[in-house]
Amino acid sequence: MTSTSMKKSFTERCSQCAAVSWGLTDEGKYYCTSCHNVTDRSEEVVSTAVIPNTKINSISRGLRKRRKHEKGWDWYVCEGFQCILYHQAEALKTLGVGADLKSEVLHNLWKRYLQKSKQAYCKNPVRTRGRKVKVLEDNLQSSDWASEFELLSDTSCPLESGAEFQSDPQIPKPFPLTKASPKSEAADICSGSVDGVEYSERKEKGVLKMTVPRTLALCYLSLLWQRETMTLSDLLRFVEEDRIPYVNAFQLFPEEMKVYGRDKGIFAIESWPDYEDIYKNMIEVAIFLDLPRFPDITEDCYLHPNILCMKYLLELNLPDEMHSLTCQVVKMTGIGEVDFLTFDPIAKKKRTVKYDVQAVAVIVVVLKLLFLLDDKLEWSYSSLAEAYNEEHREDEPQFDFRKWYQVMKKTFDEKRQKREEARAKYSWKTKRPIYRSHIDKSVAYKRREMVENLQKQFSALVGSTPVAQEKGPSSFQFNWTDGDTGSPCFHGHSLQGLLKKKGQSLITKNSLYWLSTQKFCKSYCKHVTTYEESNFSLSYQFILSIFSFLLRIKTSVLHEEVSLIEKKLFEKKYNESKKRSRPKKVRRH
Amino acid sequence: MSDFDEELTKLASAEDGKRGNSVFSNHPGMHFPWLQDRIETVVTGGKKKRDFAQTTSACLSFIQEALLKHQWQQAAEYMHSYLQTLEDSDTYKRQTAPEIIWKLGSEILFYHPKSNVETFNNFADRMKNIGVLNYLKISLQHALYLIHHGMLEDASRNLSEAETWRYGEKSSSQEVLINLVQAYKGLLQYYTWSKKKTELSEIDKDDYAYTVKTRNMLSQSCRTSANICALLKTPGVWDPFVKSYVEMLEFYGDQDGAREILTNYAYDEKFPSNPNAHIYLYEFLKREKAPRSKLISVLKILHEIVPSHPLMLEFHTLLRKSDIEEHRKLGLGVLFEVLDFAGCTKNITAWKYLAKYLKQTLMESHPAWVEEEWKSRRSWWPVFHFSFFWAKSDWKADADLACEKAFVAGILLGKGCRYFRYIVKQDGETLKKKIKRMKKFVKKYSIVNPGVCT
């Protein structure tokens, strides 16, 4: 059933909306009174006698005029979001996420959202209360609001069969409503969706309005529920790489879903998602949906700090041996506990763990434990390691911080430059311009055409140099073991020079430590502490900057996380320091 | 705002404390390197700047950088992305985008190895029609591009199209631009006319072709004058237009018309000060053989604007011949002022004139004139012109110049002056007589008592 295949027996349902309610246009052609789809069949060809149970009404002039500039479906804002979610889920599937995520989890979350926001699956949906809708025909009284979301419901889309929770977007929904009354269109207030104007003005207490960033929050919630091997920073990176629809996701709407006017404020996005923002949204959505405790994050889960630390050690070209130290820190701080890691929106503590940031922060702490990072000790250890490696060429090399710094600095500078260039070249506009009203429509399309023409001209000048072949999606951004890159790999290097024997166990040579912060914000400003870069050693700044670049987060976010881990690690010291006037360095046991 | 101030002072003191030795004063050259970042975060604080705005402005700087480094290919690549600013939802940015795109794009297309006239034409035609206000400007620059590539006919056609362009009030507000478009068209017509004129000078006057040609030229000049005339009424610097227009007027014997144009161009106070305007007028009057007093009055203004202009030597000769004492006194000043300029120090004519005129002035017993001019230069001319170093190098490079200078030095500084002494000591065979005469004259007329100066 697609909009193009019109040559069906006329007794069948409307190809657009599946309703059986035919009217006659002035030209004698049939049109569907519920969705205004005009068929190419005319009265002469098909006798009315063959169509039982159909009324033939002559369509009024006024309606025809309206149809001239908006030949599209009647669709609702929530359907738009549904479509976006559908495509996002599809994209996640192609990225290797299990199929259950879409059909089970995300589908249920979305249903729950519609229910909680009183848009469907409830007795008295919000739209009937909000605004009196003009219904053209009264032969639709049978179609109640529940059936409006027929396609979403379990009956039409059985989950057992693993079918898509949103049926093919080419199939329109049976919406028996007309769009917002034409009088409002004269002004700036109009929209392609039925309820776009009303939606953008709606401010209901206690209802969390759906936004495009919140679709990502929903995606992440379902990833978290499924304990998939994808962190939030990965998800956002895939968005920026255009692997998951987000910016201009509306261009994936079927052609007949016109997007303009107020829809712009709802669907047009001109920024990439921000980690903090999506994180915050995710918690808000989870609370709004009143979700139960999520499945446990145990030691064998990808999101467990021990596994993530391993991953980031590889990514950051650090010795594998550091893993035992990160595990120790995780154990001492208790951040590997199931109760700590598992997200429970109903519980009092309305926060969850930023798994990726936390894992990287653990690595920062371990680096501080090993090297102190005071711009002195790390370099003197490096000289020792260098001398050792010089003398023992045959042996397994000792980890040389200076050499690692040089390699990482070079690689990350290049990567940063490349990313900036790629960002500068990002094209934000689509083939479907969003105009503010019908008056602007032709202008917007003309402008679009012009831009395309000009772009064609300049792309002819760019030359045949092929754009570096796009790499497939990967949770890794760096590959150090690959000899081709020419950068040395430090994974196998040992930490021997940094540890010393004490009795049975090995302890770090360095016995000093400095805390990233002594002051935690206690007010309601919500951030943990501040990060004034210049107060810290250059090594620490460097490490924070490349680590946060890897996760595409602000350095201050990572700094906060480091502070939180230190708080747990040196809890006793913290309590002591509160009594005494803050000592700069803490001696470890 | 007060919060911002407070934060600033806090930051400043923090910075101060850290650096220890930095001094905060109101010196205008002082700046805070971190201020820009601060301001940006303060302004956009709360409401995050759209990434779209961020990336496009980054894109713009990448284009500029590429242009600076002559990386036309990269520039074209970034331009491809930058074009989306034409669709910016920010109205202000959308409206300013076409001009930026035109400027950068035309630059890229001008230099890009794969670009050609056709691509440029396509681009210009497209850009002309984005936004009303750029039509004339782009048309004009398009025409200049075509002229640059020797496609005069296309350029002319382009200008004609632009000339007839009308867009209600928008076009009346751009009257100057329309005038300029017309004037450029006139200039192109002048070019054709001028070519024909040269052809004409090669044909016999009795030839039939001659009459046809002259008739053609006449019609050409009529159109040209109409085209250029309007522009010349608008204040501005229109040198090439004025020059060619006057040439045509003169050719057809309309001396009064030409004089009016030039006088207006030079003397109308609404026009910006322009030395060329006076030069054109002077040259015209000279051709016309105007009385000396008139020429002097024109050059007097030029003297005020550009005292080092080569015409000043001509001005000097005019003044020297004048009957009015005031003029003759000015004649001395003019020479001194020419030689004040570093670019004129080796101008032998100027030195010769000065030597000669000093002699004449002193013989006519006006030492006060010389004293007056010398008063302000006494402190720096000796080092500037008459150092020992200059004596040596001048003698080596141009003995005649050295002689003239030595004479002036002798008069102004006395015979004890090092420049004078050095030149006098040289034994050039040919100059022997001259030097001897010089010595004698200096002894008699020098304004300095011997022994006072070194």
pLDDT in tens, A183-210: 444 455 788 888 888 888 888 788 889 9
What span, in angstroms and rounded, lies between the C-alpha atoms of A89 and A220? 11
**pLDDT for residue A40:** 57
pLDDT at A412 over 90: yes
Q: How far is CA A561 from CA A305, A516, A557, B4, B265, in A?
A: 13, 10, 6, 29, 74
**pLDDT for residue A67:** 43
**pLDDT for residue A15:** 59
Judged by CB atoms closer than 8 Å, whether chains meet at A270 and B76 is answered as no
**Residue to substitute from A212, A262, A428, A434, interface B, most B β-carbons within 10 A:** A428
Does B115 reach chain A within 8 Å, measured CB to CB?
yes
With both helix axes pointing from N to C terminus, report the angle between A377-391 and A401-425 in degrees, rounded to the nearest 10.
110
What span, in angstroms and rounded, lies between the C-alpha atoms of B72 and A143? 63
Residues of chain B contacting residue A433, judged by C-beta atoms under 8 Å apart: 87
Across A443-465, average pLDDT: 84
Q: A466 or A167: which carries more pLDDT confidence?
A: A466
Residues of chain B contacting residue A426, judged by C-beta atoms under 8 Å apart: 55, 81
Answer yes or no: are the C-beta atoms of A232 and A279 closer than 8 Å: yes
Q: A34 or A472: which carries more pLDDT confidence?
A: A472
**pLDDT for residue A63:** 38
**pLDDT for residue A64:** 35
Answer yes or no: are the C-beta atoms of A137 and A34 closer than 8 Å: yes
Report the mean per-residue pLDDT for chain A: 77
Across A425-449, average pLDDT: 86
**pLDDT for residue A522:** 66
Across A222-236, average pLDDT: 93
Q: What is the DSSP letter of B48?
A: P
Using 50, 70 and 90 to split pLDDT, how confident is the model at A355?
very high
Q: What is the pLDDT of residues A256-305, one digit of tens each?
A: 888 888 888 899 888 999 999 999 999 999 999 989 999 999 999 999 99
Across A502-519, average pLDDT: 79
What span, in angstroms and rounded, lies between the C-alpha atoms of A67 and A577? 74
Answer yes or no: are the C-beta atoms of A249 and A269 closer than 8 Å: yes
Across B67-79, average pLDDT: 92
CB atoms within 10 A of CB A178: 17
Q: Phi/psi of residue A29, each to 5°? A: -95, 155
Alpha helices by DSSP H, listed for B206-271, are 208-232, 239-251, 255-267
Buried b or exposed e, range B99-137, using 16+ CB within 10 angstroms: bebbebbbbbbeebeebeeebbbebbebbbebbebbbbb
Using 50, 70 and 90 to split pLDDT, how confident is the model at A224?
very high
Using 50, 70 and 90 to split pLDDT, how confident is the model at A513?
confident
Q: In what order do the strands lie in the sheet with A29-32?
A: A22-24, A29-32, A38-42
Across B363-392, average pLDDT: 88
**pLDDT for residue A485:** 64
What span, in angstroms and rounded, lies between the C-alpha atoms of B69 and B66? 5
Q: B422 or B167: which carries more pLDDT confidence?
A: B422
Q: What is the pLDDT of residues A477-503, one digit of tens each?
A: 888 887 666 778 898 898 888 888 777
**pLDDT for residue A467:** 56
Report the mean per-residue pLDDT for chain B: 80
Judged by CB atoms closer than 8 Å, whether chains meet at B86 and A450 is answered as yes
Helix (H) or strand (E) holding B109: helix B91-111
Q: Based on C-alpha coordinates, what's the Rg of chain B? A: 32
**pLDDT for residue B47:** 53
Residues of chain B contacting residue A423, judged by C-beta atoms under 8 Å apart: 51, 55, 58
Calculate how close chain B gets to A264, using CA atoms only, in Å: 10
pLDDT at B68 over 50: yes
Tokens of A12: 């069948």
Across B81-101, average pLDDT: 88
Does B10 reach chain A within 8 Å, measured CB to CB?
no
| Conformational region of residue B149, where left means phi above 0, alpha means psi within -120 to 50, and beta covers everything else | alpha
Residues of chain B contacting residue A428, judged by C-beta atoms under 8 Å apart: 52, 55, 84
Answer yes or no: are the C-beta atoms of B298 and B306 closer than 8 Å: no
Residues of chain A contacting residue B48, judged by C-beta atoms under 8 Å apart: 271, 274
**pLDDT for residue A285:** 93
**pLDDT for residue A436:** 82
Judged by CB atoms closer than 8 Å, whether chains meet at A451 and B83 is answered as yes
**pLDDT for residue A219:** 95
Judged by CB atoms closer than 8 Å, whether chains meet at B55 and A429 is answered as no
Judged by CB atoms closer than 8 Å, whether chains meet at B80 and A425 is answered as yes
Please state which of the ranges A54-58, A426-430, B264-268, B319-323 shows the lowest mean pLDDT. Answer: A54-58
Of B7, B85, B90, B2, which Cα lies nearest the Cα of B41?
A: B7
In 3-state terms, what secondary structure has residue B64? helix
Across A375-387, average pLDDT: 91
Provide CB contacts within 8 A for A248, sequence distance 6+: A268, A269, A428, A429, A430
pTM: 0.70
Nearest-Cα residue of chain A relative to residue B94: A447
**pLDDT for residue A553:** 94
Q: Which of A181-185, A437-441, B142-146 has the highest mean pLDDT?
A: B142-146
Helix, strand, coil share of chain A (percent; to 5): 45, 5, 50
Across A83-91, average pLDDT: 94
Judged by CB atoms closer than 8 Å, whether chains meet at B81 and A420 is answered as no
Judged by CB atoms closer than 8 Å, whether chains meet at B62 and A454 is answered as no
What span, in angstroms and rounded, lies between the C-alpha atoms of A154 and A172? 17
Q: What is the DSSP letter of A209?
A: -
Helix, strand, coil share of chain B (percent; to 5): 75, 0, 25
Across A466-471, average pLDDT: 60
Residue type, B69: K
Calculate how close chain B gets to A211, using CA atoms only, in Å: 16
Q: What is the pLDDT of residues A136-165, one digit of tens each?
A: 333 333 333 333 333 333 333 333 333 334
Q: A105 or A487: which carries more pLDDT confidence?
A: A105
pLDDT at A578 over 70: no
Judged by CB atoms closer than 8 Å, whether chains meet at A428 and B58 is answered as no
CB half-sphere exposure, A482, CA atoms < 13 A: 7
Q: How far is CA B283 from CA B241, B262, B276, B286, in A?
A: 16, 10, 10, 5
Please state which of the ranges A10-24, B135-149, B404-418 shows the lowest mean pLDDT. Answer: A10-24
What ipTM was assigned to the predicted interfaces of this complex?
0.73
What span, in angstroms and rounded, lies between the C-alpha atoms of A453 and B125? 12
**pLDDT for residue A371:** 92
Identity of the residue in B72, B76, B81 whose CB atom sits nearest the CB atom of A424: B81
Residues in chain A whose Cβ is within 8 Å of chain B: 264, 268, 270-272, 274, 420-421, 423-429, 433, 444, 447-448, 450-451, 453-455, 457-463, 465, 534
Nearest-Cα residue of chain B relative to residue A447: B87
Does B72 reach chain A within 8 Å, measured CB to CB?
yes
Judged by CB atoms closer than 8 Å, whether chains meet at A463 and B114 is answered as yes
Please state which of the ranges A305-319, B336-350, B423-437 shows the lowest mean pLDDT. Answer: B423-437
pLDDT at B74 over 80: yes
pLDDT at A169 over 70: no
Q: How far is CA B254 from CA A10, B233, B245, B259, in A?
A: 88, 18, 11, 9
**pLDDT for residue A174:** 41
Residues of chain A contacting residue B130, judged by C-beta atoms under 8 Å apart: 447, 450
**pLDDT for residue A184:** 45
What span, in angstroms and rounded, lies between the C-alpha atoms of B383 and B418? 11
pLDDT at A240 over 50: yes
**pLDDT for residue A130:** 40
Answer yes or no: are the C-beta atoms of A246 and A277 closer than 8 Å: no
Judged by CB atoms closer than 8 Å, whether chains meet at A460 and B59 is answered as no
**pLDDT for residue A382:** 92
Of B50, B84, B82, which Cα lies nearest the Cα of A429?
A: B84
What span, in angstroms and rounded, lies between the C-alpha atoms of A145 and A306? 49
Identity of the residue in B58, B114, B115 whose CB atom sits nearest the CB atom of A424: B58
What span, in angstroms and rounded, lies between the C-alpha atoms of A451 and B382? 67
Q: A383 or B365: which carries more pLDDT confidence?
A: A383
Answer yes or no: are the C-beta atoms of A89 and A106 closer than 8 Å: yes
Provide the residue count of chain B: 454
**pLDDT for residue A50:** 38
- Report DSSP letters for B315-383, one per residue: HHHHHHH-S-HHHHHHHHHHHHHHHTSGGGTT-HHHHHHHHHHHHHHHHTT-HHHHHHHHHHHTTTHHH
pLDDT at A505 over 80: no
What span, in angstroms and rounded, lies between the C-alpha atoms of A514 and A588? 10
pLDDT at B342 over 50: yes
Answer yes or no: are the C-beta atoms of A57 and A23 closer than 8 Å: yes
